[in-house]
RNA sequence: GAGGAAGUGGCGGAAUUGGCAGACGCGCAUGACUUAGGAUCAUGUCUCUUCGAGGUGAGGGUUCGAGUCCCUCCUUCCUCACCA
């Protein structure tokens, strides 16, 4: 073996051999412990991105490690193949979505193969195949039977540009998260999944090893809040008498006068043309009910049309039209004024029979709570702003205890939402309201009890989470297996599943789904019409981990025997961007399947094999880890003004100030420009393509306005910032080119070595030299062959010791997804081995033993290289089925360690001592050391503390003087 | 506005439970070999007033001992956002 390391020659060869020998086929084997490692499946966009490599290859390394440790590992791959891009390609380029998608899948399969990952391709699942979506449809029907799927009318997010509705989770900042196009609200009949039924169970993360941040995001998304509901009733019509006058004056906007005078105890007056409509409100602060001085309904609220008086109708309708014309973005603009109009109607506050005006305003959301609020301006900031903007009364009902003067309307500049004593609240006066929420707050607790006793209201829990809207007005998705006969909904019989997507459709630029004008599809017979909406792709990806178990199974969505062995997923890896979408949906899906009995056969099979199914189907994935994002490498440096003396080619700067681009003062005489590069204290300034050199003097003044305190030259940023990769920025990295240039193993190792995997970071191709050099050195060491001379036993012993220390670090690194430290430790060991070999201190026997372990340690990271050199050393195929090197603590233990002598906690000196040194002897030696003698100068130490060396770390003695 | 994560050399990043800060790599410097070097090899590389000190965004605290824990502030990133 004399040739040099040529990755391209060995990588494809081994990929073929692994496939031919079915090395990665995962089969149920109850005699071995199972490990289901799953990484998020890609959307077949056409090209594998470096982000896919970053997510998948470390996951692969970990799966391989588990396999070598004796687990039966399942590590499948597939495609989330429904979705809009395919349809857009069809419209813009006249390619059928099938064709486009399958061509992309073909291509991406090859790219995925080039990773050298241990994917079991026999288990591949593709969500857009009829074999797959048959079961998505089947699940839909089961959900429908159990009232988890229902058809309802709701205000939905409508994307005009995509001509479809979107789930709440797909709307970011009022825009479609994919295209960035604005989204409007629209009332539509749609299919929903009742995810809110599971809200409380989804808040329970017991026993789940998921990142805290994901749990928090899901918790916030579900948004459980505790409070009360109360029912207000509209008062009689505002006609005749003093009240009528108020309403008439209110035309064209209520003035201070009439709004305030409208506030008062309700008279017992009669007849109404409005009628007594109940208006239910939800509040987290029932203790402030007595402070309600008006009500606000969302403009979309059902009652608005019924209660608006004739006098106010024009103003109200005008306002509603204005709101409807606004997009969600405009509606979410920050710091906007509190707008709204008076409806002319009044409501009676049930707690004190007060008559309060009813307004509509867009700060009340129809989608949250009941779409109506009681407004308590004294204790809610939004209500306060609204009251001040429209001259509505404010009444303090919670009096803070620690104020010198009592809180009054006149003195308030903002709402008070802190603790205090209830006042102006009739029988509830004196109750203590704390910072606590819900029943834990004594005042709230007391008011809820009273509301329930008097029948005026009740305790209530509210969620931010809304039911999952799954209808999409698109072609390229799983058909919803439902039919309509007039108003009647008729499910497609199971034996007719799947409802297949017709292929002979026309993609017309109407914006409408081709299914809606494909008569053979939607017209079942003269009376039956098929649903033309399709399933949200998130439904397909909610259960793909189950389809991998048996992708060819045609009797059930998955094979019960396979499920009994493999479920649940042990480790799931992927991006955190799915925190409140996919990751919440798949949890919900799993719980529904459990409740409707889909797992019953699998549970029975588990019992037959002696495994307890209890809890096995509550959650889809036991452990979740999110990788960070690989970012591009372009950026801007600080723009600086430098003043000082010019000496030859460079300026010796006494002052450097960071400024904005346009802030060069007139007549400035120094150097200025963007810092293009910096080496130590030398800045390379770029201004309009001209480079100037500035040497920052040691005592120079550095001014960086946004960083407080004394600044130094190291804080100056040069041109190498980080941005997301995107085609428009032209900083996208193509994995195929990298593989061609460096080989798959080097790319894998670079991705694992140069980033904190869970954090991600900037791309810097230069750094690939590190892992590349490491792999090269390993090759060279093997190529050089076993040394012929005898080794030095003490050096050999030391190498074996270091090897075992390395094993421990790799194990910990892989366990904790700290791939960079696992590789760093191997590089370190390689360096030590190389030095020992160069010194001729290793004999043939130890060399072979060490190499056997080194190659196995390398195998999860650089599978091709490891396989090649394993073969070349004459060992049995395959290195990937070899046992993982066993860590031996005795072999790893050092004989001599450094005793660290510390003075007041600062290390001052080290003394070589035996590893098992006792406290007494260590303190004695430390006190006798030069450092201790100098610091003590004859005096006795106040204290000495001995810190024994744990797990091979050095012992320490801290001397306090 | 609410919630979360994080700030460590020129750069990517290390540092079990509080216990020698800067592992490992890139870059850089010097040297060797070279017609050549953006190749390879060797050595060095936190700072300073260098027989000693100081140093992990700023300031304070707890501790024998703090990158790590607590408080205040600054900066960056992420998520949600008029949520009643």
- Checking if the pLDDT of A325 tops 60, the result is yes
> Could you tell me how far CA A886 lies from the centroid of its own chain?
36
CA of A107 to C1' of B74 (A): 49
Helix (H, G, I), strand (E, B) or coil at A10: helix
Residue A713, nucleotide of least CA–C1' distance: B10
Which residue's CA lies closest to nucleotide B63 at its C1' atom? A905
Residue A754, nucleotide of least CA–C1' distance: B12
Tell if A772 CB is < 7 Å from nucleic strand B. no
Residue A897 — φ and ψ, nearest 5°?
-130, 170
Which residue's CA lies closest to nucleotide B58 at its C1' atom? A709
pLDDT number for residue A408? 85
- Checking if the pLDDT of A264 tops 70, the result is no
Tell if A832 CB is < 7 Å from nucleic strand B. no
Q: Band the pLDDT of A169: cuts 50, 70, 90.
A: low
Q: Are A90 and A97 in contact (CB under 8 A)?
A: yes
Token pair of A582 as six digits: 């996919």
Higher pLDDT, A846 or A651: A846
Please, which positions of strand B sit below 7 A from a protein CB?
3-5, 9-17, 19-21, 23-28, 40-42, 48, 52-54, 57-59, 64-66, 73-76, 78-84
Closest among A291, A278, A275 to A457, alpha carbons compared = A278
Q: Are A763 and A733 in contact (CB under 8 A)?
A: yes
Closest among A724, A756, A821 to A49, alpha carbons compared = A724
DSSP A370: T
Alpha helices in A710-842 (DSSP H): 735-742, 744-753, 769-784, 793-815, 819-838
CA of A838 to C1' of B17 (A): 39
pLDDT number for residue A248? 34
- Report the greatest alpha carbon distance in chain A: 116
Most confident listed range (A235-244, A248-257, A431-440):
A431-440
Tell if A723 CB is < 7 Å from nucleic strand B. no
Protein chain A, residues 421-480, with a C-beta closer than 7 Å to any atom of nucleic acid strand B: 462, 464
SS (H, E, C) A127-164: CCCHHHHHHHHHHHHHHHHCCCEEEEEEEEEEECCCCE
Q: Band the pLDDT of A650: cuts 50, 70, 90.
A: low
pLDDT tens sequence across A190-223: 899 999 999 999 999 998 999 999 999 999 999 9
* Tokens 């019509």 found at: A237
CA of A802 to C1' of B31 (A): 31
**Percent of chain A whose predicted confidence (pLDDT) is above 70:** 86
Tell if A828 CB is < 7 Å from nucleic strand B. yes
Helix (H, G, I), strand (E, B) or coil at A701: strand
Q: Band the pLDDT of A157: cuts 50, 70, 90.
A: confident
Element (H, E) at A714: none
pLDDT tens sequence across A66-75: 999 999 999 9
Q: Which of A275-279, A330-334, A925-929 has the lowest mean pLDDT?
A: A330-334
- Checking if the pLDDT of A328 tops 80, the result is no
Most confident listed range (A213-217, A633-637, A665-669, A853-857):
A853-857
Residue A265 — φ and ψ, nearest 5°?
-65, 140
CA of A721 to C1' of B21 (A): 26
pLDDT number for residue A356? 95
Q: Cα A305–A310–A314 angle (5° rounding)?
A: 75
Q: Residue A692 contacts by C-beta under 8 Å, 6 or more apart in sequence? A: A650, A651, A671, A673, A684, A685
Concatenated DSSP letters for A519-578?
HHHHB-SSS-EE---EE-HHHHTTSHHHHTT-TT--SSSS-HHHHHHH-SEEEEEEEGGG
Residue A827, nucleotide of least CA–C1' distance: B24
- Edge-to-edge strand order for the sheet containing A34-39? A72-74, A34-39, A569-575, A621-627
Tell if A714 CB is < 7 Å from nucleic strand B. yes
**C-alpha neighbours within 13 Å on the C-beta side of residue A335:** 0
Higher pLDDT, A831 or A680: A831
pLDDT number for residue A238? 47
Element (H, E) at A314: helix A310-325
pLDDT number for residue A418? 86
Residue A376, nucleotide of least CA–C1' distance: B84
Q: Band the pLDDT of A652: cuts 50, 70, 90.
A: confident
Token pair of A718 as six digits: 């040069």
pLDDT number for residue A715? 58
DSSP A696: E
Closest among A562, A554, A557, A566 to A620, alpha carbons compared = A566
pLDDT tens sequence across A379-402: 999 999 999 999 999 999 999 887
Which residue's CA lies closest to nucleotide B15 at its C1' atom? A821
Residue A157 — φ and ψ, nearest 5°?
-85, 115
- Give the ipTM of the model, two decimals please: 0.94
CA of A682 to C1' of B36 (A): 29
SS (H, E, C) A627-687: ECEEEECCCCCCEEEEEEEEECCEEEEEEEEEECCCCCCCCCCCEEEEEEEEECCEEEEEE
What are A903's strand-pairing partners?
A906, A959
Residue A227 — φ and ψ, nearest 5°?
-170, -140
What's the CA gap between A757 and A814, in Å, rounded?
A: 11
- Checking if the pLDDT of A925 tops 80, the result is yes
CA of A774 to C1' of B22 (A): 21
pLDDT number for residue A674? 67
A174-182 contact pairs (CB < 8 A, 24+): A174/A327, A174/A328, A174/A329, A174/A330, A174/A331, A174/A332, A175/A328, A175/A329, A178/A84, A182/A327, A182/A328, A182/A329
Q: Are A767 and A773 in contact (CB under 8 A)?
A: no
Element (H, E) at A389: helix A381-389
Q: Which of A15-19, A264-268, A402-406, A870-874 has the lowest mean pLDDT?
A: A264-268
Pairing of the two strands A340-349 and A534-535: unpaired
pLDDT number for residue A39? 96
Tell if A174 CB is < 7 Å from nucleic strand B. no
A930-933 contact pairs (CB < 8 A, 24+): A931/A901, A931/A903, A932/A901, A932/A903, A932/A908, A932/A959
Helix (H, G, I), strand (E, B) or coil at A725: coil
Mean pLDDT of chain A, nearest integer: 86
Residue A769, nucleotide of least CA–C1' distance: B26
Token pair of A366 as six digits: 């129809």
pLDDT tens sequence across A117-132: 999 999 999 999 999 9
pLDDT number for residue A641? 77
Q: What is the pTM of this model?
A: 0.87
Q: Are A397 and A427 in contact (CB under 8 A)?
A: no
SS (H, E, C) A468-483: EECEECCCCCCECCEE
Closest among A516, A534, A526 to A478, alpha carbons compared = A534
Tell if A707 CB is < 7 Å from nucleic strand B. yes
What's the CA gap between A754 and A742, in Å, rounded?
A: 15
What's the CA gap between A901 and A912, in Å, rounded?
A: 11
Q: Which of A147-151, A391-395, A838-842 has the lowest mean pLDDT?
A: A838-842
Tell if A212 CB is < 7 Å from nucleic strand B. yes
What are the respective helix, strand and coil percentages of chain A, to the nearest 5? 35, 25, 40
pLDDT tens sequence across A514-569: 899 999 999 989 999 999 999 999 999 999 999 999 999 999 999 999 999 999 99
Q: Are A301 and A336 in contact (CB under 8 A)?
A: no
């Amino acid at each position: 073996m004399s040739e040099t390391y040529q990755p391209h020659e060995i990588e494809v060869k081994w990929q073929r051999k692994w496939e031919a020998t079915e090395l990665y086929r995962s089969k149920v084997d109850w005699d071995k412990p199972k490990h289901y490692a799953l990484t998020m499946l890609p959307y077949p966009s056409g090209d594998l991105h470096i982000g896919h490599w970053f997510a998948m290859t470390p996951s692969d390394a970990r799966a391989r490690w588990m396999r070598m440790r004796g687990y039966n590992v399942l590590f499948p791959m597939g495609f989330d193949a429904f979705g809009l891009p395919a349809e857009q390609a069809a419209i813009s380029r006249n390619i059928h979505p099938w064709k486009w998608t399958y061509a992309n899948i073909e291509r991406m399969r090859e790219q995925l193969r080039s990773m050298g990952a241990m994917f079991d391709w026999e288990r591949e699942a593709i969500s857009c195949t009829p074999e797959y979506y048959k079961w998505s449809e089947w699940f839909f029907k089961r959900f429908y039977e159990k009232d988890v799927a229902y058809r309802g009318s709701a205000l939905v997010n409508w994307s005009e540009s995509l001509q479809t509705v979107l789930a709440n989770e797909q709307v970011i900042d009022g825009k479609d998260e994919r295209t960035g196009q604005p989204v409007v609200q629209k009332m539509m009949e749609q299919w929903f999944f009742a995810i809110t039924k599971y809200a409380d169970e989804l808040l329970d993360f017991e026993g789940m090893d998921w990142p805290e941040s994901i749990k928090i995001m899901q918790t916030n998304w579900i948004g459980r809040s505790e409070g009360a509901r109360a029912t207000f009733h509209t008062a009689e019509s505002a006609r005749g008498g003093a009240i009528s006058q108020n309403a008439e004056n209110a035309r064209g906007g209520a003035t201070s006068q009439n709004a305030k005078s409208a506030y008062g105890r309700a008279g017992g007056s009669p007849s109404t043309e409005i009628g007594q409509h109940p208006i239910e409100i939800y509040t987290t602060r029932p203790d402030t009910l007595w402070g309600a001085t008006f009500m606000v309904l969302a403009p979309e609220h059902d009652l608005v049309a019924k209660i608006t008086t004739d006098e106010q109708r024009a103003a109200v309708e005008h306002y509603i039209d204005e709101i409807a014309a606004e997009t969600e973005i405009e509606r979410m603009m920050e710091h906007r004024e509190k707008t709204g109009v008076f409806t002319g109607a009044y409501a009676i506050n049930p707690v004190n029979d007060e008559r309060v005006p009813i307004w509509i305003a867009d700060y009340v959301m129809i989608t949250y709570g009941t779409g109506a609020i009681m407004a308590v301006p004294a204790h809610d900031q939004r209500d306060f702003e609204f009251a001040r903007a429209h001259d509505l009364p404010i009444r303090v009902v919670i009096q803070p205890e620690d104020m010198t003067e009592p809180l009054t309307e006149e003195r308030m500049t903002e709402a008070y939402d802190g603790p205090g004593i209830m006042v102006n609240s009739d029988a509830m006066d004196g109750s203590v309201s704390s910072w606590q929420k819900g029943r834990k707050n004594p005042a709230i607790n007391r008011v809820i009890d009273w509301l329930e006793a008097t029948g005026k209201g009740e305790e209530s829990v509210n969620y931010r989470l809304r039911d999952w809207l799954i209808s999409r007005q698109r072609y390229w998705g799983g058909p919803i297996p439902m039919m309509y006969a007039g108003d009647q909904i008729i499910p497609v019989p199971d034996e007719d599943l799947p409802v297949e997507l017709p292929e002979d459709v026309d993609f017309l630029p109407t914006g409408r789904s081709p299914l809606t004008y494909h008569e053979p599809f939607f017209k079942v017979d003269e009376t039956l019409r098929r649903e033309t909406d399709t399933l949200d792709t998130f439904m397909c990806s909610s259960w793909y981990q189950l389809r991998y178990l048996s992708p060819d199974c045609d009797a059930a969505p998955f094979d019960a025997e396979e499920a009994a062995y493999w479920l649940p997923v042990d480790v799931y890896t992927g991006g955190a961007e799915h925190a409140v979408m996919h990751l919440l949906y798949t949890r919900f899906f799993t719980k529904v399947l459990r409740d409707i009995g889909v797992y019953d056969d699998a549970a029975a099979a588990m019992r037959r094999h002696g495994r307890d199914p209890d809890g096995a189907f509550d959650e889809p994935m036991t452990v979740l880890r999110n990788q960070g994002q690989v970012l591009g490498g372009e950026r801007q440096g600080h723009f600086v003004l430098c003043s000082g003396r010019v000496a030859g080619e460079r300026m010796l700067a006494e002052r450097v100030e960071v400024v904005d681009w346009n802030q060069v003062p007139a007549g400035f005489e120094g150097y200025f420009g963007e810092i293009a590069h910096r080496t130590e204290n030398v800045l390379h300034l770029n201004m309009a393509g001209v480079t100037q050199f500035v040497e920052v003097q040691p005592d120079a003044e550095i001014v960086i306005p946004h960083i407080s305190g004394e600044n130094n030259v190291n804080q100056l940023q040069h041109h190498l910032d980080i941005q997301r990769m995107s085609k428009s920025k032209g900083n996208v990295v193509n994995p195929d080119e990298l593989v061609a240039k460096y080989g798959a193993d080097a790319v894998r190792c670079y991705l694992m070595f140069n980033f904190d995997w869970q954090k991600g970071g900037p791309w810097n191709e230069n750094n690939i030299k590190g892992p590349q050099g490491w792999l090269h050195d390993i090759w060279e060491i093997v190529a050089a062959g076993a040394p012929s001379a005898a080794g030095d036993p003490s050096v050999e012993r030391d190498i074996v010791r270091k090897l075992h220390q390395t094993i421990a670090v790799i194990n910990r690194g892989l366990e904790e997804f700290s791939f960079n430290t696992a590789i760093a430790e191997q590089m370190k060991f390689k360096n030590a081995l190389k030095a020992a070999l160069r010194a001729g201190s290793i004999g043939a026997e130890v060399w072979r033993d060490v190499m056997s372990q080194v190659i196995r340690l390398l195998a999860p990271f650089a599978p091709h290289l490891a396989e090649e050199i394993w073969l070349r050393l004459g060992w049995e195929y395959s290195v990937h089925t070899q046992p993982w090197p066993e860590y031996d603590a005795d072999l790893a233990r050092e004989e001599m360690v450094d005793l660290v002598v510390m003075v007041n906690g600062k290390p001052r000196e080290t003394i070589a001592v035996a590893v098992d040194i006792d406290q007494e002897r260590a303190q004695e030696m430390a006190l006798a050391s030069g450092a201790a003698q100098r610091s003590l100068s004859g005096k006795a130490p106040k204290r000495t503390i001995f810190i024994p060396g744990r797990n091979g770390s050095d012992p320490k003695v801290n001397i306090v003087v």
